[in-house]
Amino acid sequence: MWLIELLLEPDRKPNEAAMHTNPLQDYSDDKGNVIEFSGTTSPKSFVTFRGSNNRVIIDPQANIPFMSVLMDCDNGTLIIKRTRAKFSARIRIGQDSTIKIGKSVSSTGPVDISACEGTTVQIGNDCMIALGVRIRSDDGHPIFDVTSGKRINVSRDITIKDHVWLGIESSILKGAVIGEGSVVGAGSLVSGTFPNNCAIGGNPAKILSTNIAWERPHLSLSEPYYKPHVSALKKQSKYWNLTKQSSTGRQALGKLKRAVKPKKNKKK
Give the domain ranges of the chain: 2-260
123-165: pLDDT as tens digits: 999 999 999 999 999 999 999 999 999 999 999 999 999 999 9
Fold of the CATH domain 2-260: UDP N-Acetylglucosamine Acyltransferase; domain 1 (2.160.10)
**pLDDT at residue 121, as a whole number:** 98
Q: What is the rounded CA–CA span in Å between residue 42 and residue 28? A: 19
Q: Buried b vs exposed e over 91-111: b needs ≥16 C-beta within 10 Å? A: bbbbebbbbbbbbbbbbeebb
Q: What is the rounded CA–CA span in Å between residue 119 and residue 59? A: 22
117-127: pLDDT as tens digits: 999 999 999 99
185-239: pLDDT as tens digits: 999 999 999 999 999 999 999 999 999 999 999 999 999 999 999 999 888 889 9
pTM: 0.85
**Residue 59: closest CA among 77, 82, 40, 42:** 82
